[in-house]
Chains A and B, each alone.
Chain A
Amino acid sequence: EPEVTQTPSHQVTQMGQEVILRCVPISNHLYFYWYRQILGQKVEFLVSFYNNEISEKSEIFDDQFSVERPDGSNFTLKIRSTKLEDSAMYFCASRREAGDGNEQFFGPGTRLTVL
Chain B
Amino acid sequence: GNSVTQMEGPVTLSEEAFLTINCTYTATGYPSLFWYVQYPGEGLQLLLKATKADDKGSNKGFEATYRKETTSFHLEKGSVQVSDSAVYFCALRLLYNNNDMRFGAGTRLTVKP
Contacts and interface: CB of A to CB of B under 8 A. Distances in A.
Interface stretch (A14-22, A63-71, A72-80, A105-113): A105-113
A103 B51 CA distance: 12
Given A31-B98, A48-B99, A99-B98, A41 B105 contact: yes
Interface centre among A37, A43, A95, by most chain B C-beta atoms within 10 angstroms, is A43
Interface residues of B, number: 26
A92 to B, nearest CB: 9
Contacts of B46: 103-105
Interface string B42-70: 11111001010000000000000000000
Nearest to A58: B100
Contacts of A99: 98
B51 A100 contact: yes
Given A43-B89, A43-B106, A107 B43 contact: yes
Interface residues of A, number: 30
Given A33-B99, A100-B95, A43 B44 contact: yes
A40 B107 CA distance: 10
Interface in A12-50: 31, 33, 35, 37, 40-45, 48
Please give me the 3 A-B residue pairs with the lowest Cβ-Cβ distance, nearest first: A43-B103, A48-B99, A106-B44
Interface of B: 4, 32, 34, 36, 41-46, 49, 51, 89, 91, 93, 95, 97-106
Interface of A: 4, 6, 31, 33, 35, 37, 40-45, 48, 55-56, 58, 91, 93, 95, 98-101, 103-109
